Chains A and B, each alone.
Chain A
Amino acid sequence: MLSIKNLRVSINNKEILKGVNLEVRPGEVHAIMGPNGTGKSTLASVISGREIFTVDEGEILYKGKNLLEMPVEDRASEGIFLGFQYPVEIPGVSITNFMRTAVNEQRKYHGLDPMPANEFLAKMEEKKKMLEIHAKLANRSVNEGFSGGEKKKNEIFQMAMLEPSLAILDETDSGLDIDALKIVANGVNKLRRPDNAFVVITHYQRLLEYIVPDIVHVLFDGRIVRSGGKELAIELEEKGYEWIKAELV
């Protein structure tokens, strides 16, 4: 589904990703861990097409297509979803209106008519229920005045509405209380299908108890320095990153 080869990325001539290789197959859940500032969010941004980064080398194939040539909104319509580490506020635009626009623009991309209003609202209700989201929240402006946890929950809600094939969740767990974490993880698990995949960026092994990854990667200084099963996450939690650093030298 996603195939990243030797990806080198810089911003303002500062190299951040220094040759990343990653292979994600349908049905898999990958976790990416790593110290602060090592390039996890950068990787997520580049996959979704953020233009402020320069791709110096390498390629990203998604469902066999060259992702790097695709505009951001086309990548989204092709099924790539990014749950933001820092979701942005859009004052005055209700979540309902925002989602309806997104759903319909994606449908337009696929040559479909806009979703009938009643169908759309029913879907909203269903997903809100699944994620235990307050009815009122959907009438509020996108992320405006939301608490940290509410913002993260809203990201997962949007994911549920858009039903992507590849969802990248960037630290969706930080800011969530224990109950919300379970709800979110549960939501993700319900959305898992043999034909979609998740890349979960996190600092905490706790999330991975609920969303069990097939593969855990450690991103360190712009490279994936280690990959393994879910035990790797437990090992990291116990030993920290010093241990990996030591091994690298």
Chain B
Amino acid sequence: MDKDPNNILEEVTQGEYKYGFYTDIEMDTAPKGLTEDTIRFISAKKNEPEWLLQFRLDAYHKWLGMTEPAWAHLHHPPIDYQNIIYYAAPKRKKELASLDEVDPELIATFNKLGISLEEQKRLSGVAVDAVIDSVSVKTTFSETLEKQGIIFCSFSEAVQKVPDLVKQYLGSVVPSEDNYFAALNSAVFSDGSFCYIPKGVRCPIELSTYFRINAANTGQFERTLIIGDENSYVSYMEGCTAPMRDENQLHAAIVEIIALKEAEVKYSTVQNWYPGNKKGEGGIYNFVTKRGICKGNNSKISWTQVETGSAITWKYPSVVLMGDNSVGEFYSVAVTNNYQQADTGSKMIHLGKNTRSTIVSKGISAGHSSNSYRGLVKMTKRAENSRNFSQCDSLLLGDKCGAHTFPYIKTENKTSIVEHEATTSKISDDQLFYCNQRGISTESAIGLIVNGYAREVLKQLPMEFAVEAQKLLSISLEGSVG
């Protein structure tokens, strides 16, 4: 590096950005730590408009005045925010020559998931031919979407292509001051997905980030914005179910969903970041803010999540039910094993009349893990005749794990009904013996029983996801009994 990064930053922040840094490969990484300069650096790198830089800086200043939340049922050593690199340009991971160089344990998992060899190579970073299936799929697929006016691209592309849409909706559901991690993300987000479905359009395919080439290495501070215009429909899937190894310790993503009048947005995710080893070392801290707003009347947002990864998960996909008759749903399976910790749940904020929400949460804990459900259901004064039904079940494997339920209910009107049910159960010896007696091994039996237990949630997933999610549930619990 022969240039002082601070000088470059100055150059960039003053006057117009002309050439970018792309010629200077060494400068593709921001210096460690977080200052205003880091943010200017990121924004300049991405050739962002001034308003977006201001959005980031504003968030940064808010973040400085905030403290990490301490209320979740989680324990972790303090995070040193000055010891993180906030920008590394879409760097290419070291390519491996063949699958022989890949961690055999990872390969074993791939095989159990039934992932094709080509796909295994792609996921583990082995050099592959340019013409792999997913590329051609991606092309035909983009054409179909464009014809209908659907915009589905990386967040950075959207900033360039449809800046007005981004400006109108960014931060409109999750304001940067919403919470500590939201502020951090708003200041430094790297990239993510953008999706816009025009009025009256029913997206003909399941949209998946899986097919989005730009998704590589954007995991750490991901930003996703999904807008369903009036009377549109989309089913969106985040991530893929193969195990993703990632060296980044801290993940703080934001997902914002806007559903206008009569629109329906279905968001499904299977999260399986590296959970750390059996002793609880390593693993991702996943602090995510996901929120949708049913802005128009008769709109609907539903979240379905299967959480099996991360050392720590902190995640409460929520719906603000603003339009009258709008519907919010949350279906979740969270598995924790070994020393994993999960504090997850949902918030349903009823503002409109006759709004309906459903929460189905299935926690599965094994090993020494801790699994908490935390939920808020709020019926405001205006939200007359609204209903919520919450079902929070915990399944315990072994006696060293813990499950906790923290439901908060606030009702400000007399015509709304909030119902909450909670159960805790164990896989009984009788069930295991019954399965064993039919020739089913204990490991398979646990997979079977756990999948049965989670069925209500799994059946919400799009087909192609559901099958892999089922396998994933079994794999996550391997070795947890006996």
Contact = CB atoms under 8 A, between A and B. Distances in A.
Interface of A: 48-50, 52, 71-73, 76-77, 81-82, 84, 87-93, 97-98, 101-102, 105-106, 109, 141, 158, 162
Interface string B408-446: 000000000000000000001111011111111110100
Contacts of B430: 88
B338 interface: no
Contacts of A52: 429
27 contacts: A48-B437, A52-B429, A71-B436, A73-B437, A73-B439, A73-B442, A76-B436, A77-B439, A81-B437, A84-B434, A88-B428, A88-B430, A88-B434, A90-B434, A91-B453, A92-B451, A92-B452, A92-B453, A93-B449, A98-B435, A98-B448, A101-B440, A102-B439, A105-B440, A106-B439, A141-B452, A158-B438
B162 to A, nearest CB: 43
Contacts, number: 72
B471 to A, nearest CB: 13
A203 B428 CA distance: 28
Contacts of A98: 435, 438, 448
A71 B445 CA distance: 14
B78 to A, nearest CB: 41
A100 B437 CA distance: 14
Contact of B439 (A50, A93, A162): A162
Nearest to B431: A88
A81 B442 CA distance: 17
B448 to A, nearest CB: 6
Given A50-B433, A52-B429, A88-B431, A93 B451 contact: yes
Nearest to A141: B452
A72 B452 contact: no
Given A76-B436, A84-B437, A92-B453, 5 more contacts: A73-B437, A88-B431, A92-B452, A92-B455, A105-B438
B454 interface: yes
B456 interface: yes
Contacts of A93: 448-449, 451-452, 455
A92 B425 CA distance: 14
A102 B456 CA distance: 23
Contacts of A49: 436-437
Which 8 residue pairs of A and B lie closest in terms of their CB atoms, listed nearest first?
A92-B452, A93-B452, A72-B436, A76-B439, A92-B455, A102-B438, A106-B439, A88-B434
B333 to A, nearest CB: 12
A95 to B, nearest CB: 11
A91 B451 CA distance: 10
Contacts of B438: 76, 98, 102, 105, 158, 162
Given A92-B456, A109-B439, A162-B439, A72 B433 contact: yes
B434 A97 contact: no
Nearest to B441: A73
Contacts of B449: 90, 93
A123 B271 CA distance: 38
Contacts of B444: 101, 105
A65 B254 CA distance: 61
Contacts of A89: 431
A111 B437 CA distance: 19
A90 B452 contact: yes
A78 to B, nearest CB: 9
A25 B292 CA distance: 68
A52 B428 CA distance: 13
Nearest to A87: B434
A201 to B, nearest CB: 15
A139 to B, nearest CB: 12
A90 B448 contact: yes
B63 to A, nearest CB: 43
Contact of A82 (B431, B435, B437): B437
Interface string B104-133: 000000000000000000000000000000
Nearest to B427: A90
A98 B444 CA distance: 11
Interface in B400-414: none
Contact of B452 (A71, A82, A87, A91): A91
Nearest to B455: A92
A94 to B, nearest CB: 8
Nearest to A143: B434
Contacts of A82: 437
A87 B456 CA distance: 23
Contacts of B437: 48-49, 72-73, 76, 81-82, 84
Nearest to B454: A92
Contacts of B452: 90-93, 141
A81 B448 CA distance: 20
Nearest to B459: A92
A97 B448 CA distance: 9
Contacts of B436: 49, 71-73, 76
Contacts of B453: 91-92
A141 B434 CA distance: 14
Contacts of A73: 436-437, 439-442
A106 B436 CA distance: 11
A52 B436 CA distance: 14
B420 to A, nearest CB: 20
B36 to A, nearest CB: 53
Contacts of A102: 435, 438-440
A88 B448 CA distance: 14
B448 A101 contact: yes
Contacts of B435: 90, 98, 102
Contacts of A88: 428, 430-431, 433-434
B107 to A, nearest CB: 21
B102 to A, nearest CB: 26
B370 to A, nearest CB: 24
Nearest to A76: B439
Interface in B434-482: 434-442, 444, 448-449, 451-456
Contacts of A87: 434
B439 A105 contact: yes
Nearest to A52: B429
A93 B428 CA distance: 15
B433 to A, nearest CB: 6
Contact of B431 (A50, A76, A77, A90): A90
A92 B456 CA distance: 8
Nearest to B429: A52
A96 B433 CA distance: 19
A72 B454 CA distance: 26
Contacts of B448: 90, 93, 97-98, 101
Contacts of A77: 439
